[in-house]
Amino acid sequence: MIACLPATNTQSLLSFVLQEGTVARMGKSFNRLGEAARCGLARMLLRLPASQREAVRLAANGRPLLDEMLGAYEEACLALERFRKEASAELTLVDEYEELCVELEGDVMREVFGARR
């Protein structure tokens, strides 16, 4: 089992998630970051209002920074799901990952819409 480190900000999660071009956490393995980013993008699009989905989807195409953010978002969401299911999971860990997911959503939205606002 791979140990999960609690991350308190986007940068620490990115360094935790991105290792040698392979992402493998929470029982799900991605052979390259692009797959994690696509999963993260799909997950995020489900949470966004319809008016923002297309802009985020188009912005994510071919932007390495957004790929990293979306891959980190996917990994944080997977970790959060697992922590919520584990009876022995610490509530502080669940709270930290809930906050991390919200922060990553905000980071993506700022990256996509920041220049326009």
Q: Can you tell me the distance from the alpha carbon of 58 to that of 22, in angstroms, rounded to the nearest whole number?
A: 24
**Residue 27's pLDDT band (cuts 50, 70, 90):** very low
What is the per-residue pLDDT across 41-80, written as a single tens digit (0 to 9) for each? 999 999 999 989 999 988 888 788 999 999 999 999 999 9
pLDDT value, residue 108:
94
**Residue 116's pLDDT band (cuts 50, 70, 90):** low
Please report which helix (H) or strand (E) contains residue 78, including its range.
helix 64-85
- Write the DSSP assignment of 9-74 as a string of letters: SHHHHHHHH-BTTBEEETTEEESSHHHHHHHHHHHHHHHS-HHHHHHHHHHHTT-HHHHHHHHHHH
Q: Where are the domains of the chain?
A: 10-113
pLDDT value, residue 90:
85
Q: Tokens 């326009």 map to which residue?
A: 116
